[in-house]
C-alpha cells in the first residue's frame, strides 16, 4: 500500500443498500463498487476498461467471486480501497456494543511490512500447536507474541487503545467459555473460526495455516456449481428440441415417401439429417469427469516436480522443464521443454496460492 492512500468515491445510500446484504459479489461487481459506481450501469463499462491490469491480475490469482468482506480486504491489498462507508456498512470498526472496535489497528497497518513479517513468524511458531489457551488466542489475534509485548508496533506497543482492545476481547472470550461456545484449550482451527464468528479480522495467511480454504475459493466453487447446473439445463433443453426436430423430420419423410414427385436424393438428405441430429453430444457428467481428471493430473505433475526438482515458478531462469523433457525423451515419447514450461506455469497459477511459494521457498 502507498503512503498517500485515499478512499475512493463515497457511495450513495441507495448503492449501499442495494449491495451490502448480498451474499457474494463478482470481480466485475467489486471493481465498480470500490469506485462508487453501480455495476449494471453504463458508467461501469467505462470504469472496467480503465482497470484491465487489475482485472487480469485478479483473475490469475483466482479472485472471481467472494463475500463483500472479502472484496473490502482485496481492495486494500490491490490499490483499490473502498470508501469507509462500505467498511462501516459491511464490517464495522467503531464501537458496537460489547464487541468494542473490532480492530485495534488501522487497515493500513495490517498491510505494513512490519506487521506481515511478525504475522509470518507467529504462524510458523503457533499454527501447529495442538491447542491454544485463551490468552494465547487473544494475543495472537492482535499479532503479538503471547504473554509478551514483543510486537510489530515497536518497543512500546502497549498503547491505551491496544490495552482496551485486548481487555475487551478477553471479556468476550470469558463469556464464550462460560457458555461452552469454545473450550479453554481449543485447537488453532477452533479459535480462528471463533474469532471470525465474532467479527474480528483474521488474515488469509492464518486461515490457510489452520487448513481453511480461501473465502473467495469457496465462493468460486459454489458459483462454478451453479454454472454447471445452468449448462446442464441448456443441454437438456437442446436435447428436447432435437427430439422434437427428429419427430418432425420423420413425419415429413413418411409424407414424402408417399409422393412420387419427390426424388430419392431428397429423401436421403432427410435421413442424413435425422442421423446427424440423433448423435448425442458429450454428456455434462463426462465433461465434468474429464475436467477433474485433467486438474488432478496437473496437480500431480506440479507436486512431482516440486518434490523431485524443487520447482519454483517465480525465477525467470529455471531448467526443471528441460529435465522433464529429457526424461520424456528417455521414455521414447516426444515432449518439448517449452510445452512443459507452459503447463507447469499454468498449473502453478491455477492450483497454488502465490503465498504458498513464499512459505516453501522463503525470500532471503
> DSSP states of 180-205 as a string?
TSS-SSB-HHHHHHHHHHTT----HH
Least confident of 14-18, 218-222, 315-319, 329-333: 218-222
Residue 178: alpha-carbon gap to chain centroid = 36
pTM to 2 decimal places: 0.46
pLDDT of 101 strictly over 80: no
Query: What's residue 277's pLDDT?
Result: 59
Which grid coordinates are listed for 214? 480461501
Please name the residue that has the C-alpha cell 413425419: 251
Residue 167: half-sphere exposure toward Cβ, Cα within 13 Å: 7
54-58, Cβ contacts within 8 angstroms, sequence gap of 24 or more: 54/78, 54/79, 54/80, 55/27, 55/28, 55/31, 58/27
CB proximity list for 253: less than 8 A, separation 6 or greater: 267, 270, 271, 274
What three-state secondary structure class fits 12? coil
pLDDT of 98 strictly over 50: no
Least confident of 144-153, 205-214, 261-270, 343-352: 261-270
Q: What is the mean pLDDT of residues 293-302?
A: 82
pLDDT of 156 strictly over 70: no
Average pLDDT score, the chain: 78
Which grid coordinates are listed for 197? 464468528
Digit-coded pLDDT (tens) for 209-268: 999 876 554 455 555 566 667 777 778 888 888 888 888 887 877 776 666 555 566 656
What three-state secondary structure class fits 303? helix
Angstrom distance (rounded) from CA 330 to CA 333:
8
Which grid coordinates are listed for 44? 461501469
Higher pLDDT: 316 or 248? It is 248
pLDDT of 45 strictly over 60: yes
What does the buried/exposed string (b/e) look like for 320-355 if buried means 16 or more CB atoms within 10 Å of the residue's CB? bbebbbeebeeeeeebebeebbebbeebbeeebbee
Angstrom distance (rounded) from CA 46 to CA 68:
22
Dihedral sign of CA atoms 290, 292, 295, 297 in order: negative
Query: What's residue 2's pLDDT?
Result: 35
- Assess contact for 2 and 79: CB atoms under 8 A: yes
Digit-coded pLDDT (tens) for 14-28: 898 889 888 889 999
Where on the phi/psi map is residue 310: left (φ > 0), alpha (ψ -120 to 50), or beta?
Answer: left
Which grid coordinates are listed for 193? 473460526
Residue 334 confidence class, pLDDT cut points 50, 70, 90? confident
Q: What is the mean pLDDT of residues 178-203?
A: 90
Amino acid at each position: 500500500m502507498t503512503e498517500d492512500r485515499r478512499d475512493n468515491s463515497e457511495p450513495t445510500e441507495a448503492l449501499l443498500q442495494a449491495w451490502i446484504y448480498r451474499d457474494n459479489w463478482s470481480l466485475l461487481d467489486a471493481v465498480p463498487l470500490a469506485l462508487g459506481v453501480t455495476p449494471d450501469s453504463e458508467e461501469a463499462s467505462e470504469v472496467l476498461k480503465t482497470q484491465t491490469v487489475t482485472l487480469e491480475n485478479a483473475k490469475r490469482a483466482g479472485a472471481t467471486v467472494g463475500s463483500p468482506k472479502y472484496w473490502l480486504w482485496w481492495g486494500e491489498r490491490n490499490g483499490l480501497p473502498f470508501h469507509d462507508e462500505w467498511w462501516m456498512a459491511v464490517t464495522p470498526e467503531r464501537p458496537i456494543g460489547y464487541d468494542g472496535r473490532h480492530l485495534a489497528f488501522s487497515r493500513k497497518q495490517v498491510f505494513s511490512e512490519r506487521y506481515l513479517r511478525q504475522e509470518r513468524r507467529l504462524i510458523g511458531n503457533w499454527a501447529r500447536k495442538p491447542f491454544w489457551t485463551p490468552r494465547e488466542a487473544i494475543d495472537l489475534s492482535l499479532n503479538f507474541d503471547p504473554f509478551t509485548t514483543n510486537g510489530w508496533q515497536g518497543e512500546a506497543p502497549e498503547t491505551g487503545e491496544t490495552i482496551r482492545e485486548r481487555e475487551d476481547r478477553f471479556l468476550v472470550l470469558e463469556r464464550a467459555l462460560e457458555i461452552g461456545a469454545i473450550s479453554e484449550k481449543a485447537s488453532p482451527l477452533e479459535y480462528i473460526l471463533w474469532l471470525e464468528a465474532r467479527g474480528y479480522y483474521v488474515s488469509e495467511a492464518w486461515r490457510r495455516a489452520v487448513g481453511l480454504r480461501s473465502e473467495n475459493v469457496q465462493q468460486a466453487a459454489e458459483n462454478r456449481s451453479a454454472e454447471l447446473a445452468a449448462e446442464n439445463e441448456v443441454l437438456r433443453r437442446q436435447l428436447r428440441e432435437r427430439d422434437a426436430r427428429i419427430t418432425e423430420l420423420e413425419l415429413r419423410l413418411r409424407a414424402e415417401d408417399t409422393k412420387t414427385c419427390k426424388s430419392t436424393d431428397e429423401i436421403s438428405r432427410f435421413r442424413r439429417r435425422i442421423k446427424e441430429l440423433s448423435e448425442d453430444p458429450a454428456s455434462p457428467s463426462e465433461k465434468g469427469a474429464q475436467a477433474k481428471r485433467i486438474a488432478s493430473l496437473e496437480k500431480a505433475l506440479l507436486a512431482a516436480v516440486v518434490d523431485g526438482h524443487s520447482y519454483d515458478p517465480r525465477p525467470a531462469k529455471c531448467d526443471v522443464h528441460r529435465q522433464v523433457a529429457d526424461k520424456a525423451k528417455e521414455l521414447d515419447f516426444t515432449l518439448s521443454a517449452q510445452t512443459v514450461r507452459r503447463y507447469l506455469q499454468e498449473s502453478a497459477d491455477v492450483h497454488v496460492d502465490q503465498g504458498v511459494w513464499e512459505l516453501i521457498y522463503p525470500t532471503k
